[in-house]
Chain A
Amino acid sequence: MMNIFTIARRDFRSYFNSPVAYIVITGFLAIMGYMFYFGFAHYVAQNAQYQQFNMGKSISITDGVIKPLYGNMNLIFLFLVPFITMRLFAEEKKLHTIELLMTSPVTLTEIILGKFFSALGLVLVMLSFTIVYPIILFATGNPEIGPIVTSYFGIILVTACYVALGILFSAMTENQIIAGALTFATGLFFWIISWAASSAGPVWSDVLMHLSLIDHYSNFGQGIVSTTDAFYYLSFIGIGLFLTHRVLDSFRWR
Chain B
Amino acid sequence: MIQVTHLTKMYGPRVAVNDLNFEVKKGEIVGFLGPNGAGKSTTMKILTGFMPATQGQAVVDGHDVFENPIEVKRNVGFLPENPPVYPEMQVFDYLEFAARMRQVPKGSVSASVKGIIDKTGLGEVQHRLIGNLSKGFRQRVGLAQALVHNPKVLILDEPTVGLDPKQIIEIRELIKNLGNDHTVILSSHILPEVTATCQRIIIINKGAIVAEDTIERLTTRLNKGLIYNLMVKNPAAEGIAALRKIQGISNITPAGPKLIIEMTPGGQEIRDKIIETAVQKSMGVLEFSAERVSLEEIFLQLTTTENATGDQI
Contacts and interface: CB of A to CB of B under 8 A. Distances in A.
B52 A106 contact: no
A99 B76 CA distance: 13
Nearest to B84: A100
25 contacts: A3-B101, A6-B100, A6-B101, A14-B88, A14-B89, A17-B89, A18-B88, A96-B83, A97-B86, A99-B82, A100-B101, A100-B145, A102-B50, A103-B50, A104-B73, A104-B98, A104-B101, A105-B74, A105-B101, A105-B102, A106-B101, A252-B50, A252-B52, A253-B52, A254-B11
A196 B208 CA distance: 57
Given A17-B89, A95-B86, 18 more contacts: A2-B100, A6-B100, A10-B89, A14-B88, A96-B81, A96-B82, A96-B83, A97-B84, A98-B84, A99-B80, A100-B98, A101-B101, A103-B76, A104-B103, A105-B101, A105-B103, A253-B52, A254-B12
Name A's interface SS: helix
Interface residues of B, number: 32
B97 A10 contact: yes
Contacts of A3: 101
Contact of A252 (B51, B82, B83): B51
A16 to B, nearest CB: 10
Contacts of B83: 96
Interface residues of A, number: 25
B49 interface: yes
A246 to B, nearest CB: 15
B87 A95 contact: yes
Interface string B32-55: 000000000000010011111000
A214 B74 CA distance: 45
Contacts of B51: 252-253
B73 A105 contact: yes
